[in-house]
Structures are given as C-alpha cells and as structure tokens.
Chain A
C-alpha cells in the first residue's frame, strides 16, 4: 500500500511502491523504501512468504531510500543479513545511520496506580501548605508596604493609582451594572413565585433589598473583579517577569512590591467599594423593574417598602467587606504574577490559578463574615 492510498487519495504516485522479488533466501528490493513503505517492507523481510530466513538482500533496484528505511536495513544487517548491490548514492546514508549508536528512547519508570495516588496526594498537600504560607507572607509584605505608604503618602504613585482605578473601576461599570440588574431580576422573580402561595409577595421587595445590599451586590462585584482585574494583574506582572523586566527593576534598586503591587492594591481597594455601591443601586433598580411588572408597584411604593425592610447596617455590612475582598484579590493576583517563571506557558497557568484562588478566597471570606456578623448581631 502506498502512502497516497493510506491518506485516502490516489493522484500521481510520487514514488513507486516497494516490490520484493523472491529469489529463495536472497530477495531483491525495488522501488522506494521510505517511511511510507516501511511497515510493508518490515513485514515481508522479517516474515518472508516462503518461511525461509532471509540471508541477503539485493538493493541494486532501490530507487529511493530515506532514514527510516536505512534504519530498517541497518537493523537487518546487525541481524546478520548481507546487503548487496548498494547504490553509491545510498552508501553515505547507510553508513551514517548504521554508524549511529542507537539507544531506545528512555521512558519514565512505571509507577503503580495507588502509589501514584499517594504521591499526588502528598505533592498536593505540600503544595497547598506552601501556597498558604506564601499567601500569608505576601499579605504581610503588602500590608507593611501599604502601612509604610500611609505614613509616607508622598511615596504613593498617584498617577499609577489613578490609572488602576480607571482600568479596574470605570471600565468595569457597564458589565457590573448589567450583572447586578440581572441577578436582582432572578431573585425578584423567585421571590414572587415562591412567596405568592403564602400571600407574601410584598416581602419580595424586602428579599431583594436585603440580599442585594448585604450579599449579592458585593459578591457579584468581587467575583467579576477577580476574573477581570485579578487575572490582568497576574498576566501583566507575569509577562514583565518573563521578559526580565522585574530583574531590571531589581538591578536598578527598585523593589517590585511598592512599584507594581502597591498601586494595583490601593487602586482596587478604592475601586471595589465604589463598584459595590453602584452594583447595590443597580440591583435595587432591577428589583424595581420586576416588582413593577409582576406586582404593579410604582417606584415610590417600592422605595417605601424597601426603606422599611433595610436599615443602615445592611448597606454597611456589604460595603465593609468590599475593601477586604479587594485587598485579597489584588494580593493573590500580584503574587501569582511574581511567581511566573520563564515560559509563556507559566503565565497562563498562574493566571488560571490566581482567578480560581481569588474567587475561592472571596467566597470563603464571605461565609466567615456571615457567621461573624450573625454573632455580632449586625
């Protein structure tokens, strides 16, 4: 079978197929012995139809020979088969290939499955432990840099910070607003549907207002910012690391934490509470739309009901969490950026980790805050 037939098409045969002339135990190869005809040749030469072991092969009629073909011939020669009638143009090739000191590719040693499982578990635990330590260290370093900057405010890079505020905040307004409206529409619809059998549709307003202000507004905003800005921090700093720009900073005596990490952290800590407040307002608007459509309440009536349902602590609880989430998102994003090593592949890996970890931390912290505020009675 020629190569072209293998590939399912049969235009102009570029090389004549391999033909084996039988002369007892001295067959002759004709045509082309290359990577395409290799399997056939191997079959025929190692197990000839006559059943007799091949002792010599005549290569006089061989038109084309490539390195895999030469490899096969060399293997035969090593098995004691004589190669006769080698054409002059194939001699150099055969000499080169036969002269190679071929060793099989080394393979990683096989590991039994349960052992691999234990190894993976151990590695994973070790990595998680190191990760935790690293986050704690980095939180400490960032907090100390932040504290230093507040004592020496002239060292804060206002231009950088304002650029971060615009990139992480202003540019995120449309998507945050849209998502907040959507989420509150979902809550309001569910509220009306679930509470109607008990005649408690009026409570929908309270449900929307309290859940948006306390939880959903800040949670949605933080998750979105983690995906949008946390990943950007990792990728930006990671690419700088790959291109040795961080090393260049270090050589100039400029530490990367105050220069690259601090503006991003401060920018995000300013932005996230503002974005959260904006998301809260948009969420209330979304609730108003649904309540108006399903229950027929006008805006004044909606606001009146909402005012009775919430008090200042609801808004405070939501906004209080925002800067803490922002700090953690920023720290995790920058930390993973600085962890990038060498390759572009590593930038992708660290970005994924940074986003997953930031969202995980945001949700865990949110759960802890829920318990804390319950105990405190807010």
Chain B
C-alpha cells in the first residue's frame, strides 16, 4: 500500500469522558478518544468489554450516562440527521440490509431520500457503489436472503458508502467469513481509505485486520481505552494487552504484517 494519504492531525470525531453503565455494571469509565481524519483506527477488547456500546455511543445511537461526542466540533446530538447521514456510515455486524428491498434498492434508499437525482442517475451511482464494494451490477436485483455471508457484508458496505461519508464505522467486518473473503474485505477497506480518503473505525477481534490494516489501535480494558500504534501497544506491560498481542494467534498476524508492510 503506497501511503500517499497520511492521516491528518485533525480530529473528525472526538469523545470526551464517556461513561456508560447498565444498572450496577460499569462498561466505560471516562473513555476519551480522538478519531483523526484519514486514519484507520481499530478498536479491540475482550468479549463484553463494551466495544459495541462504544461504537453505538460514537455514532449517536446510544446516549452515554456522561461525556460528549463531537463530530467536526459539533455535538453529535445537535447534528441534523441529514448531515449526520452524509458524514457517518455504519456497517452493522449482521449487515442490517432491509430484507424487503433488493440490494440496489437498499443502496438507493438514502440517495432517493436525500437528493433529487433522476432514477437513471441513482441507478448508475448504485451500480458504482456495488463495483466499489467488489460486487457485480447483476447482484443488484438480488434480495438479502439470497446472498452469502461475504456478499451481505459487501452489499452492506456498498449501502454504507451510499452518501460518500467521510467516516465509516465497521462492526466486526470480517467475522463469520472465511479467510480469503476476509482478506478481500480488508483489501477493499485499504483501497477505499487510500483513494477516497475515508476514515475508518473498525471494531474487530480479527488480529490480522488489526495488525495489517490499522494505523492505530484502541484496546478496551478495565473500562478504559488505550489508543496507540500497534508497535507501542506491543510493548505495553498491561497483562491483557500483552497476552492479546503476543498470544499464539498474534504470531500469525505478525507474520502477515511483515509481509504486507514489506511489500508496501
């Protein structure tokens, strides 16, 4: 990967002092996080560490017990839905494609709602998004129930790209996929980051994604988040982070990192 786009030192989305608790169970204890324009940020953590809740908080689906989230300097609750939709895209874990609409109609839904483009233009844009997500235009007529797991992710990806958001949140984009399909998704994320300059926040367990793709990684441990580059995190003396990044599975991911970075 040629790095003609380096992350800018400008936060596109910032979280300050996020506190989330459900009943007596504390999930986040004053978590602060800056997402820099143009970067790929990975968010990792054990099961139940609050990764998905953090993602829902960052995109404004969940209101935290305390703390603020700002998008381009504006509180996320105050951003009009139209503007939020054109700035933030989310790829949900199960795809969340509307089952009563075909793939193309899924992609065209936000375009149709928010613009007055003629149908022929909408269809061209939908075909382009499908191609960008690595699908062919013929799959546009299919319905979500007719797609395989990898195709569902790609179709959902195409829909998340519908309004050209600058910031895309991906919830477990490679889970439940075979390694080849997962690598394909990773490659697509890298390509879109390079050529469209899209900022990515990836919540994932997939060590290969974290090791090869992400500029920085945030690890959620003990209700806090530690954000740093992978090389720095690997030197962390926190037992969980150390075990996570040096365990048996991390060795394979490290090898993949050496290969991809060596070739790039």
A interface list, Cβ under 8 A from B: 3, 6-7, 14, 34-36, 38-39, 42, 66-68, 71, 89, 92-93, 95-97, 100-108, 342-345
Contacts and interface: CB of A to CB of B under 8 A. Distances in A.
Interface in B122-146: 123-129, 131-132, 136-138, 140-141, 145
Contacts of B82: 7
A39 B119 CA distance: 12
B115 A6 contact: yes
Nearest to A36: B115
A7 B113 CA distance: 10
A97 B126 contact: no
Contacts of A42: 121
A89 B138 CA distance: 31
Contact of A89 (B115, B124, B197): B197
B116 A39 contact: yes
A38 B121 contact: yes
A103 B115 contact: no
B25 interface: no
Interface hub of A42, A66, A93, A95 (most chain B Cβ within 10 A): A66
A13 to B, nearest CB: 12
A372 B197 CA distance: 77
B146 to A, nearest CB: 10
The 5 closest A-B pairs by CB, nearest first: A66-B164, A92-B195, A96-B195, A103-B137, A100-B131
A76 to B, nearest CB: 13
Contacts of B195: 92-93, 95-96
Contact of A102 (B117, B118, B128, B163): B128
B194 interface: yes
A38 to B, nearest CB: 6
Contacts of A36: 115
A345 B131 contact: no
A193 B24 CA distance: 65
A36 B111 CA distance: 10
B100 interface: yes
24 contacts: A7-B114, A14-B83, A35-B111, A35-B125, A36-B115, A39-B118, A66-B164, A67-B132, A67-B161, A68-B121, A68-B164, A92-B5, A93-B196, A103-B127, A103-B136, A103-B138, A104-B127, A104-B137, A105-B104, A105-B123, A105-B141, A106-B141, A343-B99, A343-B145
Nearest to B191: A96
B164 A105 contact: no
Interface string B24-44: 000000000000000000000
B190 to A, nearest CB: 12
A14 B83 CA distance: 10
B137 A105 contact: yes
Nearest to A92: B195
Contact of A35 (B4, B131, B140, B164): B164
Contacts of A66: 164
Contact of B141 (A35, A89, A108): A108
Given A66-B164, A96-B191, A106 B140 contact: yes
A39 B117 contact: yes
